[in-house]
Structure 1
Amino acid sequence: MNLNTNTLPVAIGAAFGGGFFAGVNQVGGKTYALIVSPKLFGEFKGRWHASKESVPGAEDYADGLANTNAMAAAGSDLAKAVRASVIEGFDDWYVPARDELELIYRNLKPTAQENYASFRDGENPSSVPMGRHYTEELPAQTSVDEFREGGNQALDAVWHWSSTQYGPSSSHAWTQYFDYGSQYDGHKSYEGRARAVRRLEI
């Protein structure tokens, strides 16, 4: 199903498509509405992968669906659980790519902490509009009550897995911290959270 801009929710965090509207991004020259899943059904915990071997096809910074499929094919229990999930009647959920996860932090940041504004945290060429480097003050805590820290949809103020393998090391994958915004690599064997997303082409 393709949408047009008139059918998108006006507000970030609005109920939409089986979850909540998290923003707009581009993947492979196409534009998508990104939807973050309801926390009760869409929050998963586990290791990115039991092996430190490289996972071909899981290197994309924007295409979380392709990454997650590659992870699942390589035996990732986390990826298989997310891809097998049916949430609000939809079965196309996946682990967000690095840029998709950053967009969720930027638009639905749960805490009022200052951001980690060092190196290139926040740069996101896939988001619409393009994401710029964080400052200590921006992005600010979301104004959507349900997604603020303590709210029933808030992403926990800890790091979350992306589906993007960390290029310099096949044993690591990209993470996003949801307390102060740092983007970092974590060893695939670490236990971490993943919040499922889906997307709709605009």
Structure 2
Amino acid sequence: MPAAAQTAPAVNIPEIGQPYGGGFFSGITRDPETGKRYLNITAGAEHELVGAWGEYGVKIKGADSFTNGRANTEAMAAAGSELAQQVLALRIGGHDDWAIPARDQQELQYRHFKPTTEANWQYGRSGDNPNSEPVGLLHTEESPAQTALEAFQEDGVEAFRPRAYWSSTQRSADGAFLLGFEAGLQYYYGKFYELRVRPVRRFLQ
């Protein structure tokens, strides 16, 4: 068989914000261990959930990935997180592999779907994303700008609320990473806080 015939067909990369895979295409991440590239899909606004991340003071094994939200979410659910269990039960657009986004998956959501015109936080490592393509850089006051996608702009039908959203990436026994969608602060909160979640899924390119 010719070599060309043995090559798997390439996956066409959609435009950012294009309806795709049960949601909207939100960018590319690479697994830091394997180097494999993944397309990331963000669910529509109607599928957002609210809840506590998990039990304060409990370190959950397997919930520390910056790129694999599904693995994190499964570990959270196994440890009793009701929020993670709700996300795993979702079936959207015929797909049932949704997850709470890992930190670097979530950064893509803000980078491409920022709802507001607020100046960005320039604090800590907000915006730093070594596992995305292209690599994410520290926020400046102007970058990223408000998304050009009207549906995702503030008060749009798919817009993120201008408040904090959980990621599935654990920081410690007491806290997990979050991202504030009003101005892009990436920090961590106590796991007992009830924050929003916008589910994601990913698949190999």
Q: Is residue 2:189 matched to residue 1:186? A: yes
The TM-score with structure 1 as length reference comes to: 0.94
Alpha-carbon displacement from aligned partner over 1:22-50 (angstroms, at most 9, x marks no partner) = 0111124210110000111x201100013
Give me the whole-angstrom Cα distance separating, in 2, the residues matched to 1:17 and 1:193: 22
Alignment of 1:47-196 (within 5 A): 47-166=52-171, 169-196=172-199
Given that 1:116 and 1:180 are in contact with CA atoms closer than 8 Å, whether structure 2 keeps it comes out as yes
Given that 2:117 and 2:145 are in contact with CA atoms closer than 8 Å, whether structure 1 keeps it comes out as yes
Alpha-carbon displacement from aligned partner over 1:19-78 (angstroms, at most 9, x marks no partner) = 0010111124210110000111x2011000134210010011111111111001111000
Percent identity of equivalent pairs: 44
* Structure 1 segments unaligned to the other structure (5+ residues): none
Give me the whole-angstrom Cα distance separating, in 2, the residues matched to 1:3 and 1:181: 37
Given that 1:52 and 1:189 are in contact with CA atoms closer than 8 Å, whether structure 2 keeps it comes out as no
* Structure 2 segments unaligned to the other structure (5+ residues): 1-7
Given that 2:28 and 2:38 are in contact with CA atoms closer than 8 Å, whether structure 1 keeps it comes out as yes
1:8: Cα distance to partner? 1.8
The TM-score with structure 2 as length reference comes to: 0.92
Given that 2:120 and 2:183 are in contact with CA atoms closer than 8 Å, whether structure 1 keeps it comes out as yes
Given that 2:56 and 2:175 are in contact with CA atoms closer than 8 Å, whether structure 1 keeps it comes out as no
Please report the RMSD computed on the Cα atoms of aligned residues, expressed in angstroms. Answer: 1.3
Q: Is residue 2:40 matched to residue 1:37? A: no
Given that 1:3 and 1:201 are in contact with CA atoms closer than 8 Å, whether structure 2 keeps it comes out as no
